[in-house]
Amino acid sequence: MNASERRWQDLHIRSCLCASTLLALSVLLASCQRPVQPLRPPPSFDMQGPTPAPLKVREDEAQSRLLRDHETPATVEDFERYAGTTRVLFARDSAELDAAARAILDRHAQWLNLYPEVRASLQGHADEFGSREHQFALGEKRAAAMKFYLTAQGVAAERLVPTSFGKEHPARTGGDEISQNQNRRGETVLIGLPASARERGE
Amino acid sequence: MIKAVMPVTLALLATTSQAFAQGPLHVDITDGTASPLLIAIPEVASGVIPGVANGEDAGEALARIVRADMSSTGLYRLVSIDGRYSGSEEVAFAPFARAGAQALVLGRARPSGNDALAYDCVLYDVFGARIETSQRILVSKAQWRRAAHKCADMVFAFTTGDQGHFDTRLLVIGQAGSAPGQGTSLLSMDFDGENRTSLTEERELVAMPRFGPGSRRIIYTSFTGPGPKLVLDDLDSGESRTLDLPKGVPSAPRFSPDGASVIFSLARDGEADIHVIDLSSGAVRQLTSNAGADTSPSYSPDGTSIAFESDRSGEPQVYVMASDGSGQKRISFGAGAHGSPTWSPRGDLIAFTKIENRTLRIGVMKPDGSRERIITEGGRDEDPAWAISGRAIAFQRTAGGEALPAVWITDLTGKLARQVKVGSSVGEPAWSGKRP
């Protein structure tokens, strides 16, 4: 086991201890029982969306992750590279995190746990198939679900700012199901970084 | 600003305006359907008046605006007679009677001083050959279109008994990007799309604007900063103020009818509840505490009841409660989901967005939920906003295949839905009350 792997194992244990105080028992057991698999490539999840495009993890990038050290600066680019995607998707009119969404948020949590000074805005969005006001509330519910999950993975609640855009800022505008599927989303957007100019709406 | 004043000198304009809808010139309206009043609005030439109507004949341009206003309601049918009508002639009723007109509107325009326009607007009963009501309207030349809207308001009020909605403003969200949310701004314009002004910088994401009583105070949701906030602007003083609210994500603000408080939805930890803030004391009161999302509150015009949307039953439906939050009761039971309830200024109807089979359409129902009627036929029609008359509804329509929306206005039958011509994409309309 190289140094980097040991560091990941430490982190993993620490996050479990931390999480145990949060009564998120099922999540906790699942993550503690899982054999330590440092730095798998991110789960492949076809987003079909142009912004951000699904990031292809090339071999050399995966390799560079393994070689990252404490000196890697906390940047939006590094977060995106590490997480694979900043976006999770939801089912229609639902704020439940499915397995794919949880796997993505696991990586968000891992990265955030590496950089405790970084804060994140959790931005819930909704599709067009509802009233403007209801979709706004639904976006907040999705952001709240992301926050609950990330805190269960050891990210301090104060670092996470849930918010909603409702259907005001769709990723896709087609009225078809495939387009609207992309709008039922939550995004983890880093805030408080010098390099965080790449927030939504740039 | 120069207000409209009643006539003082012209004997012709002997006023009878206190009598609302007593005579035969009355439009009876049931469920938004009326047998239209036959009305003649001839173009009375005034000659060119500098600074008015962009160099056209002012009287003719104003008459065309009055015509457009009246016919947009579906309550009047325009009747025209051959030949031109000169403002200096004595009124000859016979040609109008022969053409079948019941009502005749004559407007005479002339300059008043250097900067003002005087418009004498008279409504005649053609068969009785008499003046029913009249008004001398004085406006600054820059606001010349308002003279026609005020004239139309006078005729509408006399013949229906309701306030006219022509001299009003719309507040809309302008979309400058190729998709919603890319570059939004808050725009204000006349109800017919003219005289647009921008109230916010572009690229600041803004949503859900509403007018206070009248037309000079507005509130909207702004997305500058880490979370949305509710911003209250005073359009006269230019003062802008962010409401100080408890922790959470606020949205869907709306003024109380007396303008003293703002009701809104506050979401926290996945639950959204209706709250109200007193604008002078800043005190916030929570009115609902149900599991689920309670949002989109709208007061009845007397301020005693609140319609709102809740998904506590599993899908969004419209509820009504007393203004203190007591007596919460579901009123919408038709097929599909119902959202964005908006109480008519007349108090008789609640407009809503119906969500069914992934389509959104505008409907109205009585405040007890009975007599639900869907009045628009687009696939993505939403955000109903009442005219102060209670006889028209503005809404956002996104046409099939289009990414960006437009604002439309419809009468209550839905037959006269028409787009407000703006030249760029606008949505989420709010409709002002009476302008000062």
pLDDT digits (tens, 9 = 90+) for B406-423: 999 999 999 999 999 999
Comparing C-alpha atoms, which of B428, B346, B423 is closest to residue B384?
B428
Evaluate whether B31 touches B412 at the Cβ level (below 8 Å).
yes
Give the pLDDT confidence of B362-393 residue by residue, as tens digits.
999 999 999 999 999 998 999 999 999 999 99
Chain A residues near residue B227 by CB distance under 8 angstroms = 121, 161, 163
As a 3-state breakdown, chain B gives helix, strand, coil percent values, each rounded to 5, of: 10, 40, 45
Edge-to-edge strand list for the sheet holding B294-299: B294-299, B305-310, B317-322, B329-330
Comparing C-alpha atoms, which of B56, B60, B117, B102 is closest to residue B84?
B60
Per the structure block, which two tokens stand in for A201? 């709406």
| CB-CB under 8 Å, A173 with B179 | yes
Helices (H), A89-197: 99-114, 132-152, 177-183
| CB-CB under 8 Å, A133 with B252 | yes
Residues of A near B (Cβ–Cβ under 8 Å) read 93, 95, 121, 128-134, 136-138, 140-141, 143-145, 161-170, 173-175, 191, 201
| CB-CB under 8 Å, B249 with A163 | yes
Comparing C-alpha atoms, which of B140, B382, B361 is closest to residue A166?
B382
Is any Cβ of chain A less than 8 angstroms from the Cβ of B337?
yes
Residue B12 confidence (pLDDT)? 38
Is any Cβ of chain A less than 8 angstroms from the Cβ of B2?
no
ipTM > 0.85?
Answer: yes
Which of A121, A140, A201 is nearest residue B272 as measured by Cβ atoms?
Answer: A140
What percent of chain B is modeled with pLDDT above 90?
81
Comparing C-alpha atoms, which of B385, B360, B132, B86 is closest to residue B254?
B385
Q: Considering only the top CATH level, what class is B169-431?
A: mainly beta
| Pairing label, strands A160-166, A119-125 | parallel
What chain A residue is nearest to B183 in terms of C-alpha separation? Answer: A201
Count of alpha carbons within 13 angstroms of residue B430, beta-carbon side: 26
Residue ranges covered by each domain of chain B: 11-160, 169-431
Q: State the pLDDT confidence band at B335, using cuts at 50, 70 and 90.
A: very high
What's the CATH number of domain B11-160, 3.40.50.10070, 3.50.50.60, 3.20.80.10, 3.90.78.10? 3.40.50.10070
- Total length of chain B: 436
Give the pLDDT confidence of B99-116 residue by residue, as tens digits.
999 999 999 999 999 999
Residue B202 confidence (pLDDT)? 62
In whole angstroms, give the CA distance from residue A45 to residue A39. 17
Which of A130, A162, A201 is nearest residue B205 as measured by Cβ atoms?
Answer: A201
Third-level CATH fold of A52-198: 60s Ribosomal Protein L30; Chain: A; (3.30.1330)
Flag the least confident range among A69-83, B162-176, B313-327: A69-83
CA distance A139 to chain B (A): 9
Q: Which position has the higher pLDDT, B86 or A90?
A: A90
What chain A residue is nearest to B297 in terms of C-alpha separation? Answer: A133
pLDDT at A4 over 80: no
The rounded Cα A185 to chain-centroid distance in angstroms is 11
CA distance B263 to chain A (A): 13
Name residue A91's amino acid.
A
Is any Cβ of chain A less than 8 angstroms from the Cβ of B425?
no
Is any Cβ of chain A less than 8 angstroms from the Cβ of B296?
yes
Residue B225 confidence (pLDDT)? 79
The rounded Cα B154 to chain-centroid distance in angstroms is 16
What's A54's DSSP letter? P
Evaluate whether A87 touches A42 at the Cβ level (below 8 Å).
no
Q: Where are any strands of DSSP class E within B359-405? A: 359-365, 373-374, 381-386, 392-397
Residue A6 confidence (pLDDT)? 46
Residue ranges covered by each domain of chain A: 52-198
pLDDT at B119 over 60: yes
Return the ∠ at Cα B338 (arms to B335 and B342), rounded to 5°.
140
